[in-house]
């Protein structure tokens, strides 16, 4: 009996010791966490000190100057299809995808996008200014004026006054417009009303807002918008630098 009691006391002693060791470990562990937290917090504080991206302004720029939209706002989304082979040509025709337009087009796009944002959506670009040499390249692949503007005459894309766009929500999800970009067929026509109501509503939102900000559309492509004030500009062949 006495031996039993002794063993029990002995066990209790070690059990307590074990507990204490665990407590020590835990304390040590907790202190490591708080050390880490301090390090992490100081990293966060460091991040906070990094200045926010500053954007260019239009001050001093002529209305016909070519500018890159991303230098003026981070409020747009981009999927520059001709810089990939995911387009109707099935060929990559740009070395890199950038959205350039003339200043007056950029200004109108910024005000249109502010309007869209008030409705919980924003502009996503598929194509913007297209150098005339690229128009020649596209014409070589598809020499059919039903699909590609003849480069001799040029398109408003070559003038820096046209954009191919859709709308996305604030999470980047595309609104349903009924067809993909560059779908050539009746389903892409503005005057095709034989479509579900939500698609008609989405196209209406896009068209009415763009028209309000100085753009006009073409009947057969729901994604294409021309700036009215750009029609008299010259076809250009300015090329942007790729990093
Ligand atoms: Zn277009």
Tens digit of pLDDT for each residue in 83-112? 999 999 999 999 999 999 999 999 999 999
Catalytic annotation present for 90: no
- Beta strand 77-78 with 100-102: parallel, antiparallel or unpaired? unpaired
- pLDDT (0 to 100) of residue 231: 83
pLDDT in tens, 45-56: 455 566 778 999
Q: Hunting for tokens 């063993």 — which residue is that?
A: 7
- pLDDT (0 to 100) of residue 243: 84
Which residues on adjacent β-strands are paired with residue 162?
226
**Residue 157, marked binder:** yes
- pLDDT (0 to 100) of residue 158: 97
Residue ranges in the chain modelled with pLDDT below 70: 1-50
What are the Cα distances from residue 58, in Å, to 45, 65, 105, 126, 234?
Answer: 33, 10, 12, 24, 21
DSSP string, 27-91: HHHHHHHHHHHHHHHHHHHHHHHSPPPP----TT--TT-EEEGGGT-S--EE--GGGSS-STT-S
Residues near 133 by Cβ (< 8 Å), separated by ≥ 6? 237, 239
**Residue 213, marked binder:** no
Distance linking the first and last C-alpha atoms of the chain: 86
Residues measured by CB to lie within 5 Å of ligand 1, the ion: 164, 224
- pLDDT (0 to 100) of residue 48: 59
Q: Where are the domains of the chain?
A: 1-50, 66-230
Residue of 98, 140, 221, 243 marked catalytic: 221
- pLDDT (0 to 100) of residue 46: 52
Class (C level, CATH) for 66-230: alpha beta
- pLDDT (0 to 100) of residue 6: 44
């Amino acid at each position: 009996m006495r031996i039993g009691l002794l063993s029990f006391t002995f066990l209790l002693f070690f059990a307590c010791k074990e507990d204490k060791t665990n407590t020590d470990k835990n304390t040590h562990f907790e202190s490591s966490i708080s050390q880490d937290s301090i390090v992490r917090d100081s990293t966060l504080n460091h991040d906070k000190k990094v200045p926010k991206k500053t954007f260019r302004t239009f001050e001093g720029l002529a209305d016909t100057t070519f500018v890159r939209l991303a230098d003026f706002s981070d409020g747009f989304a981009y999927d520059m299809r001709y810089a990939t082979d995911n387009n109707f040509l099935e060929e990559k025709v740009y070395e890199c995808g950038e959205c350039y337009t003339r200043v007056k087009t950029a200004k109108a796009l910024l005000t249109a996008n502010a309007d869209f944002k008030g409705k919980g959506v924003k502009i996503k670009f598929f194509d913007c200014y297209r150098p005339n040499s690229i128009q020649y390249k596209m014409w070589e692949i598809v020499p059919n004026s039903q699909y590609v503007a003849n480069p001799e005459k040029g398109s408003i894309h070559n003038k820096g006054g046209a954009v191919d766009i859709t709308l996305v929500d604030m999470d980047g999800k595309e609104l349903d417009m009924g067809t993909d970009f560059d779908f050539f067929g009746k389903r892409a026509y503005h005057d095709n009303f034989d479509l579900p109501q939500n698609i008609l509503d989405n196209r209406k939102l896009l068209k009415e807002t763009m028209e309000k900000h100085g753009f006009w559309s073409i009947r057969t492509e729901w994604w294409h918008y021309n700036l009215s004030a750009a029609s008299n500009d010259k076809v250009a062949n300015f090329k942007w630098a790729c990093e």
